[in-house]
Amino acid sequence: MKNIAVIGAGTMGNGIAHTFAQSGFTVKLIDVSEKSLDKGMATIAANLDRMVAKGAISEEDKHKTIGNIITYTDVKDGVTGVDLVVEAATENVELKLNIFRQLNEACAHNTILATNTSSISITQIGAVVAHPERVIGMHFMNPVPIMKLVEIIRGYNTSDEVTKTIMDLSVQLGKVPVEVNDYPGFVANRILMPMINESIETLYNGVAGVYEIDTVMKLGMAHPMGPLQLADFIGLDVCLAILHVMYDGFKNPKYAPCPLLVNMVRAGKLGVKSGEGFYDYSESKKAEKVAKQFL
């Protein structure tokens, strides 16, 4: 397996493309937007420059990595002749199902089809393609080139052979794969999102402020960043989408999103990517300044 296609040039997609390319794979990075592809490639180059500056890789390694990536705006052209497709589009059920319908038409029947979804059912996605045994979840963590974990999610029909292939491939990438079963939120988000949601409820109920909640979790629980800072980093819209998937999947009120989270997303306060969430990022991408509405 040497030829990989990655669909989506956003934060996760360009990180996945970077990781495969740095490991010597030929990567076809696909996005319908030429602008998104340019931005994704610029991000990869900037991240590689940082690695060179730290002495983690050489200048030659950087050029080889970039040279391993080819960009496409057409899905059919991009997936021709690949061994594996990793879909990394926005966390939207209908969007992902439509992409997999396209892949069903454009890919050979033995091409493995993976999704980077963090919560959506692999079984549901697999149901729209022929040979659903080749559909699997490959949930990378952000930032992809640095984070070691990959959640490998088996759908109801995913074969043992495909699972082993993707587990072994993840090790080739220098990652630590963990196999989990297909239930809403899998493991990572089933545990993480209720914690983030409860942190937002704690703020909403006036128990403590943004800085205080994050400080308790960082210093008291040894978390590298507080849950509200982490929510901003993930994207509040993404957190809300995952909570909706979990609430719809389990029908359990403990997964219902906090009204404060809902209103912030409606207001466009999405965290780092919009410049404001629980923190103000207008001057720095670091969570150093609490957003004005929470002071």
Sheet of strand 135-140: strand arrangement: 69-72, 26-30, 3-7, 84-87, 112-115, 135-140, 149-154, 176-181
* Identified catalytic residue from 18, 87, 116, 139: 139
Do residues 149 and 171 lie in contact, with contact meaning Cβ atoms separated by under 8 Å? no
pLDDT reported for residue 252: 96
Candidate list 18, 87, 116, 151, residue with the active-site label: 151
Residue for token pair 């002749």: 81
Bridge-based pairing of strands 149-154 and 176-181 is parallel
Whether residue 91 is annotated as binding a ligand: the answer is yes
118 marked as part of a ligand binding site: yes
Query: Is residue 12 marked as binding?
Result: yes
Flag whether 40 is marked binding. Answer: no
| Below-70 pLDDT ranges, the chain | none
Burial class (CB in 10 A: 0-12, 13-18, 19+), 32: middle
Answer for the pair 56, 100: CB distance below 8 angstroms, yes or no: no
Q: How far apart are CA 68 and CA 73, in angstroms?
A: 17
Q: Is 118 a catalytic residue?
A: yes
Q: What is the pLDDT of residue 273?
A: 94
DSSP code, position 276: B
Per-residue model confidence (pLDDT) at position 195:
98
Q: Name the catalytic one among 118, 121, 197, 199.
A: 118
The answer to whether 273 is annotated as binding is yes
Structure-token pair, residue 99 = 């992409």
pLDDT of residue 148: 97
Can 151 be counted among the known catalytic residues?
Answer: yes
* Tens digits of residue pLDDT in 153-208: 999 999 999 999 999 999 999 999 999 999 999 999 999 999 999 999 999 999 99
How much is the pLDDT for 272? 96
Domains and CATH numbers, the chain: 3-181 (3.40.50.720), 189-290 (1.10.1040.10)
Q: In the chain, how many H helices and how many E strands?
A: 13, 8
Task: For the chain, list the strands marked E by DSSP.
Answer: 3-7, 26-30, 69-72, 84-87, 112-115, 135-140, 149-154, 176-181
Report the pLDDT value the prediction gives residue 138, as an integer from 0 to 100. 98
Both ends of the chain: CA-CA distance in Å?
53
Report the pLDDT value the prediction gives residue 140, as an integer from 0 to 100: 98
Residue from 14, 47, 68, 189 carrying the catalytic annotation: 189
